[in-house]
């Protein structure tokens, strides 16, 4: 952290030099792991400045939108989320989607295991309440920024050894020969409560897309039911609309 001390030699008010140093360090990814700034006391020691100077520098960065304060949790770096456009007509996985856009996909697992299905999972997957399902709840990130929360359920018989499911659920299904070929997806707008908002790194009350996906094998069996919340500030779902054949005939037949 020696570079931080060098800031003190910059000209102008000290708090501005401290702010410039913090801005530079953030841009270089220094606090990227947790996106949280070190405690005030620690930063004062590193920079050898008073609390008042540090607080003025931080207040400036909050005003610029570089940092934000979360009550009781600390001061965080506001990362610009990657913006993603996803075609609604293509059945792709999160990992593929991100890779094709040049982002590094990663996940934070919240729950994983083989369980009896919830009533909702049993209904959606069309399995008996006594059949086991593999459940995987993950925060999905692109370049380290959380974009979505996904809660996936797959009938356990489609995954030989669930512990072998790695970063990509679809890659694991593909390896077993059970990659879905078709899916139905429902999207609706929701307002996030405190817990989901915190997991997505957005403010409580932010808008999100609540997505249900049911995916099928070629023989019509249901292989996946996933409920996700996607951040609405990072995702655009794009649908292609074509004129139906019947409609085009009507247009040709219409009197001119
Ligand atoms: C996408 C799918 C989700 C699927 C996941 C698999 C949407 C809305 N959802 O996120 O249903 O489970 O991809 O991704 O597109 P993975 O193979 O990277 O685990």
Q: Mean pLDDT: which of 42-56, 87-101, 214-228 is highest?
A: 214-228
Report the C-alpha gap between 118 and 127 in whole angstroms.
11
**Cβ atoms of 141 and 147 closer than 8 Å:** yes
Mean pLDDT computed over every residue of the chain? 86
Q: Where are the beta strands (DSSP E) in 11-144?
A: 67-70, 74-77, 84-87, 105-115, 133-142
- Report the pLDDT averaged over residues 45-64: 90
- Report the pLDDT averaged over residues 165-174: 95
Name which residue sits closest to atom 2 of ligand 1, judged by CA. 93
53 touches ligand 1 (CB under 6 Å): no
93 touches ligand 1 (CB under 6 Å): yes
Q: For the whole model, what pTM was predicted?
A: 0.69
Beta bridge partners, 78, equal none
Tell how far the Cα of 76 is from the centroid of ligand 1, in angstroms. 28
Mean pLDDT check: name the lowest of 43-47, 49-53, 183-187, 240-244: 240-244
pLDDT of residue 109: 94
Tell how far the Cα of 223 is from the centroid of ligand 1, in angstroms. 13
Name which residue sits closest to atom 13 of ligand 1, judged by CA. 93
Model confidence at 127: pLDDT above 90: yes
pLDDT band for position 227 (50/70/90)?
very high
Model confidence at 107: pLDDT above 80: yes
Tell how far the Cα of 91 is from the centroid of ligand 1, in angstroms. 9
Report the C-alpha gap between 144 and 103 in whole angstroms.
9
Strands 133-142 and 105-115: antiparallel
Tell how far the Cα of 254 is from the centroid of ligand 1, in angstroms. 44
Tell how far the Cα of 94 is from the centroid of ligand 1, in angstroms. 5
C-alpha dist (Å) from residue 77 to 26, 36, 201, 238: 7, 6, 11, 30
Mean pLDDT check: name the lowest of 79-93, 115-129, 239-253: 239-253
Probe ligand 1: pick from 140, 150, 166, max atoms within 8 Å of CB?
150
- Report the pLDDT averaged over residues 25-48: 79
Model confidence at 56: pLDDT above 90: yes
- Report the pLDDT averaged over residues 109-127: 96
Question: pLDDT per residue over 186-225, tens digit each?
Answer: 999 999 999 888 888 788 899 999 999 999 999 999 999 9
């Amino acid at each position: 952290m020696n570079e931080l001390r060098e800031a003190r030699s910059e000209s102008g008010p000290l708090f501005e030099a401290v702010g410039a140093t913090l801005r530079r360090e953030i841009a270089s990814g220094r606090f990227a792991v947790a996106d949280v700034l070190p405690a005030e006391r620690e930063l004062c020691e590193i920079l050898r400045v008073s609390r008042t100077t540090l607080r003025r520098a931080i207040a400036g960065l909050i005003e610029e939108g570089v940092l934000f304060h979360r009550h009781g949790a600390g001061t965080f770096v506001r990362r610009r989320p990657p913006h993603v456009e996803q075609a609604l007509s293509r059945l792709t996985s999160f990992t593929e989607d991100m890779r094709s856009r040049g982002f590094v996909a990663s996940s934070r697992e919240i729950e994983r295991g083989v369980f009896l299905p919830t009533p909702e999972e049993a209904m959606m997957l069309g399995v008996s309440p006594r059949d086991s399902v593999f459940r995987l709840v993950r925060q999905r990130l692109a370049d380290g920024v959380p974009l979505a929360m996904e809660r996936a359920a797959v009938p356990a018989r489609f995954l030989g050894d669930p512990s072998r499911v790695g970063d990509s659920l679809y890659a694991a299904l593909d390896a077993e020969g059970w990659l879905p070929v078709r899916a139905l997806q429902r999207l609706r707008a929701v307002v996030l409560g405190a817990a989901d908002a915190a997991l997505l790194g957005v403010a409580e009350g932010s808008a999100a897309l609540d997505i249900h996906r049911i995916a099928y094998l070629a023989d019509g069996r249901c292989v996946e039911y996933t409920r996700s919340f996607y951040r609405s500030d990072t995702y655009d779902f794009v649908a292609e609309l074509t004129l139906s054949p019947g409609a085009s005939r009507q247009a040709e037949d219409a009197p001119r």
